[in-house]
Chains A and B, each alone.
Chain A
Amino acid sequence: MAVTALYDYQYPAADTQDKFHGNQLLFVGWDDHFLFVAPLAFSVPPSTKFSDLVEKNLTFAYGRHADWAKIDFSKVTWLKSGKPFQPDFNKTLAEQGIKHKDALRLQTPGLNGNGTCF
């Protein structure tokens, strides 16, 4: 439904990809780990390899949690827009269709902050 207004109400979106100087926004949440209270926002080039995203960006953000080093990435589950997603670690974000403002969720069964989800 359109905004009720006195005139034709059209304004540009504030966060389109062209405003990020060649980068894209990517959101990543790690389920059952509330030391990080909300999913995180990253600004990364679409040419980022998924392995680099995990080893650099996500390790920088999540690496201070003891569970992070214990993750076996061959056994984790990823969700994209709430649906199962199998990332290819050797491909870039763009190559596997991870678009601007996509939200990924990392699920690591068995690793849940010692049962406290923290």
Chain B
Amino acid sequence: MDMQATKKKLGLKEKYAHMTRGLDWETTYQPKEKVFPQATFEGIKVHDWDKWEDPFRLTMDAYWKYQAEKERKLYAVLDAFAQNNGHLGITDARYLSAVKLFLTGISPLEYMAHRGFAAAGRNFPGVGPRVACLMQSIDEVRHAQTQIHALSNYNKFYEGFHAGASHQIERLWYLSVPKSFFDDAFSAGPFEWMIAIGFSFEYVLTNLLFVPFMSGAAYNGDMATVTFGFSAQSDEARHMTLGLECIKFMLEQDPDNLPIVQKWIDKWAWRGIRVLSLVSTMMDYMLPKRVMSWKEAWEIYFEQNGGALFNDLAKYGIKVPDCIAQCTVDKEHQSHQLWLTLCTHSHAMGLHTWLPDAEEMDWLSAKYPNTFDKYYRPRFDELRERADKGERFFANTLPMLCQVCQIPMLFTEPDDPTKICYRESEFQGEKYHTCSDGCKHIFDDEPEKYIQAWLPVYQLYQGNCWPEGTDPTAEGFNPVAKYLEWCHIDAKDTGDYEGSSDQENFAAWRGVATQNV
């Protein structure tokens, strides 16, 4: 017989109230503004921190229970995947280039998000955001761990996974793009951090990253990635809500906060969109079995879902960022322009690229009827012709970079996809170049911040990207080869997929798995 309870169990709301009780203590021997210096310097005015309520009101015991359940399921799937040689069940080892980009580009950002939310939680005087930031901080470090665990299965069998998340994020030219996004956010104050990561990254990026890309992983037989993706995505909903609630809180607290919040939304929407261009190549080119085009994903997850979000914020006076008009143009072009860049620079990357075959180009043509055949098919045809003659084209000179997003200056003018977009600014007598009106606007607003940018090409020319003891005056000195050595990239990790050891091994192992040999 069950024990008769003498007292009614606490409801979740009451439990949450108990958990957070007293966390907003008053300081005694130091003034409050010295204990929380970051709460005011950005100009955000808060009159009543108690008005910020965590919509999830998650208590610790519930949090541990949910997350422990997810972890058990995740590691059971990973174990089964490893024991059953799940890596041979994927469509093609080409798919792993997308996974390599994910491991090297995104997993370190999860770790940065963990640090950033811990710092934001420390710096907010209110109880609600402090506890919610703590939970998110724990989630983010868990995401970094689960991603690296999920992907480590592939590291046993394929090239290029060995140093991405730790060593190469600081060094590789294309990884400076997502890294600079987080460095920019982390060096801002806690409120801007919430817009940058809580709103832009969690809303704009993770929807497009986790939902369609994880479907892509499922389509291509990668159950390890699907599982960590689903595990993370259930947290993302809570993270998105935290970001949105923080925006609403700022706007409800004081009308003076509106222009500051609007400026941050404009800035971080554009920065997020530029980082997303890497994901566009994953969707359109790197999945052997495609789910939907980048343009379709953009229309569903950004234009429709994001549009609903901005409708929701309109009552506070928030306007849709001006850069969205540019995005409507870019959705037709960015994956093609960026994949052509990766294809012609993949001798200096930690992953393989390839030229789309006839069937893949027909798919792209059907998905991009306005642009693919007109602008991009001829370019792939020419590259294919050269490759067939044994002259696969790789650039032999380093590209000019955008001072803000750090992507090579590859994007075109809004009104002409055949002309590179050049924008120039001057600050303290120095010239700075940006790839778009969006990046120029961000630079001109805070030039002091972006003049410090660690731009890989220019650092290489300064001699800062070679192993210790390198003599650049030695005969036959090859700066790119030395740069790759400094990045811990081996010849097996780079270049075309055709003829790579990944291709060769995958074919051989799959042959063994399906034949009686």
Q: Take A11-B452, A101-B433, A118-B382 as given contacts and tell me if A29 and B41 are in contact as well, using a CB distance cutoff of 8 Å.
A: no
**Stretch from B127-135, B267-275, B453-461 at the A interface:** B453-461
Q: Shortest beta-carbon distance, A44 to chain B, in Å? A: 10
Taking a contact as CB atoms closer than 8 A, the residue among B408, B446, B459 that contacts A1 in the complex is B446
In chain A between 89 and 118, which residues have their CB closer than 8 angstroms to a CB of chain B? 99-103, 105, 113, 116-118
Number of interface residues of A (CB under 8 A): 49
Contact between A61 and B41, CB atoms less than 8 A apart? no
Out of A2, A40, A117, which one reaches B398, CB within 8 Å? A40
Best-surrounded residue of A21, A36, A99 (most CB of chain B within 10 A): A36
Could you tell me the distance between the alpha carbons of A58 and B455 in the complex, rounded to whole angstroms? 22
Task: State which of A16, A60, A64 has its C-beta within 8 Å of the C-beta of B430.
Answer: A16
- Find out whether the CB atom of A103 lies under 8 angstroms from the CB atom of B408: no
Cα-based distance from A35 to B384 in the complex (angstroms): 12
Q: Which of A9, A13, A15, A38 has the most CB of B within 10 A?
A: A38
B183 located at the interface, meaning its Cβ lies under 8 Å from any Cβ of chain A in the complex: no
> Residue B303 at the A interface, CB < 8 A?
no
The size class of the interface chain B forms with chain A is 35 or more
- Produce 1/0 per residue, A6-34, CB < 8 A to B: 10011111111001110101010101101
In the complex, A3→B43 CA distance in Å?
Answer: 12
| A34 CB, nearest partner CB in chain B, Å | 6
Q: Are A29's CB and B422's CB within 8 A?
A: yes
Contact A105/B422 with A11-B451, A11-B452, A116-B378 known, Cβ cut-off 8 Å: yes
Is A13 within 8 A of B452, CB to CB? yes
CA distance A82 to B420 in the complex (A): 12
Q: How far is the CA of A43 from the CA of B458 in the complex (A)?
A: 9
B397 touches A39 (CB 8 A): no
Which residues of the other chain, A, contact B38 by a CB distance below 8 angstroms? 6
Find A38's partner among B409, B418, B455, B459 (CB 8 Å cutoff). B409
Complex Cα distance A36/B396, Å? Answer: 10
Shortest CB distance A76–B (Å): 16
User: In the complex, are the beta carbons of A13 and B451 less than 8 A apart?
Assistant: yes
- Selected A-B contacts with CB under 8 Å, 14 pairs: A3-B449, A4-B41, A4-B42, A5-B41, A14-B458, A21-B462, A41-B399, A41-B458, A57-B397, A81-B431, A105-B422, A116-B379, A117-B418, A118-B378
Instruction: List chain A positions with a Cβ less than 8 A from chain B.
Output: 1-6, 9-16, 19-21, 23, 25, 27, 29, 31-32, 34-43, 57, 60-61, 64, 81-82, 99-103, 105, 113, 116-118
- Flag if A19 contacts B462 (CB, 8 Å): yes
Closest 6 CB pairs of A and B: A43-B461, A116-B378, A13-B451, A61-B397, A38-B408, A38-B399
Q: A37-B410, A82-B424, A118-B378 are in contact. List 10 more A-B contacts (CB 8 A).
A: A5-B41, A13-B428, A14-B453, A16-B430, A20-B461, A39-B409, A41-B457, A82-B422, A101-B433, A118-B379
Task: Tell me if A15 and B409 are in contact (CB < 8 A).
Answer: no
By the criterion CB–CB under 8 Å, are B457 and A116 in contact? no
B contact residues around A60 at 8 Å (CB): 396-397
Cα–Cα distance between A6 and B418 once the two chains are bound (Å):
44
Give chain B residues whose Cβ lies under 8 Å from the Cβ of A36: 344, 395
Given contacts A37-B344, A41-B401, A118-B378, contact A103 B424 (CB under 8 A): yes
